[in-house]
Amino acid sequence: MKSIILSSVLVMTCLSLVSKGQVILQGKIEYQRKMNIHRQFDDMSGDNNSYMEAFIAKIPKFDTRNFALVFNSKQSKYSPVKHDENPMLAMMGGLPGTETVVWNDLEHQKTIASKKVYEQAFLVDDNIRKYTWKILEEVRTIAGFSCRKAVTKINDSVVVVAFYTDKISVSSGPEMFAGLPGMIMELAIPRLFTTWVAQSVVLETVAPDQLTVPEKGKKTTIVDMEKSIRSSTKSWGKFADKSIWWSNL
């Protein structure tokens, strides 16, 4: 009960600072990721694949789970919150991106990300990717923050929609997305049928042990990881493209 009350006080303090025009430079954001699982597996159920159709019928339509982003003015770390995995999904190797951990060195524009793509585990060590964002006029309120819409693309054609707030003056967000003039509070990738939406922002001092660098996976770069995944999924048809897109988030 005490921890709930303290968390509520910290959230209210955070919103009070925003209302006074002050910017936030450190804290913790919890995102809820919602994925339409049935649509994810659509490309695998074609050509009268009765096994896959029967499998889809046994799993829930949506998967909802949380991820946390801790940050200060120099670093950020995005990682999954513990989640009880659906046994049927576990049999299939789990859903994409459920084990992703992304550490960003915002001062030197470096990223280290631990990513599992089916049976392959990668440790991406590279520069923070530069996205070409187009900032639009649409504004919405997310977790108490006024956020502006921006759009970009990955893999030349996959549209990514983001809403960011400049009241959190740290250029980071879910997965490996960054580069906007503030924190990304909502992310949507329609072709992956998935959204990430900030549920809460807690104003807190971030300790060094909350920003440890991930170490799990085979060390690689963004480009080499994509080459490896393309090679191992080349016979998967359209589903291979989704695998590439997920790895590039």
The CATH classification number of 23-247 equals 2.50.20
Which residue's entry shows tokens 């030349």? 156
Q: At residue 129, does pLDDT exceed 70?
A: yes
Name the H helices within 41-161: 50-57, 87-91
> pLDDT higher for 12 or 188?
188
pLDDT, residue 9, reads 44
Q: At residue 131, does pLDDT exceed 70?
A: yes
Evaluated on CA atoms 179, 12, 143, 146, the torsion sign reads negative
Q: At residue 169, does pLDDT exceed 80?
A: yes
Which residue's entry shows tokens 């019928």? 57
The CA-atom distances, in angstroms, between 201 and each of 15, 80, 88, 167, 239 are 9, 16, 33, 12, 35
Domain edges within the chain: 23-247
Report pTM: 0.89
Which one, of 53, 66, 35, lies nearest residue 191 by Cα? 35
| pLDDT band at residue 2 using 50, 70 and 90 as cut-offs | very low
The two three-digit tokens of residue 24, written as one number:
């936030």
CA 103 centroid distance within chain: 12
Mean pLDDT within 39-66? 77
